[in-house]
Amino acid sequence: MFFLHSTNKDIEEEEGEMKAASALVLVFLLVSVAAMTIEKRLKEFFPPKCKNANSTNWYQVGCYCVKHFQGPVDFATAESNCARQAPGGHLVSLHSEQDNNAVLSIIKKYSASSPRTWLGGLQIPSTKTYIWTDASPWNYQAWVPGEPRPTNSEHCVEMNWSVLGKWNDLECWRKLGYMCAFELQTANEGGGQE
């Protein structure tokens, strides 16, 4: 039988090939696991549909229903369009990293090729402080490193300029996509006295 004539060299080569094949399988498994982990993380961030909304593609982020609009329009037009979408509608305000990630995942789903999006952040030029157009507290921020720059004419806040998920201040007349939001009605709203 031919294998009786196998030399040690043949066996070593065979072992080497088997090791290489095992390594390849291991790399393939690691890559697969990494891909599944990334996909799972994106799914974790993607918010549920908003049950309160009477039209499609509104998602629940924190205590808001939010929806992405392609535009592109300037900041003021975006804000007034949002007011027409629903009672109490405004450009979206963000209050946690989780909400920020959820909004980013919606933008990736609906506008991956042009992700720059107006948020509802607005600078008061006289005080250099920021407010949200829905008057909720300014209690979270996620600026691109180096932004906002101290002296310029940029007073409106966008997401996804240069770094995905991060914010930049920009001239308000620029035309971008935008994210509208309205507050979810809570069960006890209006039912009690302060």
* Measured distance CA(119)–CA(161) in Å, rounded: 12
Q: Rounded to an integer, what distance in angstroms lies between the CA atom of residue 151 and that of residue 162?
A: 20
> Closer CB to Ca ion, residue 67 or residue 166?
166
Site residues (vs Ca ion, CB under 5 A): 147, 154, 168-169
Minimum CB separation from Ca ion for residue 133, in Å?
18
- Residue 126 three-state SS: coil
Q: Report, in Å, the least distance between residue 122 CB and Ca ion.
A: 14
CB of 137 to Ca ion, least distance (A): 23
Q: Which is nearer to Ca ion, 145 or 191 (CB)?
A: 145
Neighbours of 126 (CB within 10 A): 6
Nearer to Ca ion, 52 or 153 (CB): 153
Q: In 10 A of CB 9, how many CB atoms?
A: 8
In the complex, minimum distance from the CB of residue 94 to Ca ion, in angstroms, rounded to a whole number = 17
Nearer to Ca ion, 67 or 116 (CB): 116
Q: How far is the CB of 32 from Ca ion (least distance, A)?
A: 40
Nearest distance from residue 157's CB to Ca ion, in Å? 9
What whole-number distance in Å separates Cα of residue 85 and Cα of residue 78? Answer: 11
C-beta of 51 vs 149, nearer to Ca ion: 149
Distances (CA, A) of 71 to 22, 37, 168: 51, 33, 18
What is the C-alpha separation between 100 and 121, in angstroms, rounded?
A: 13
- Toward Ca ion, which CB reaches closer, 64 or 167? 167
Q: Which of 32, 40, 62, 38 is nearest to 50 (CA)?
A: 62
Closest CA to 180 of 79, 104, 50, 34: 79
Q: What residue number has its CB nearest to Ca ion?
A: 169
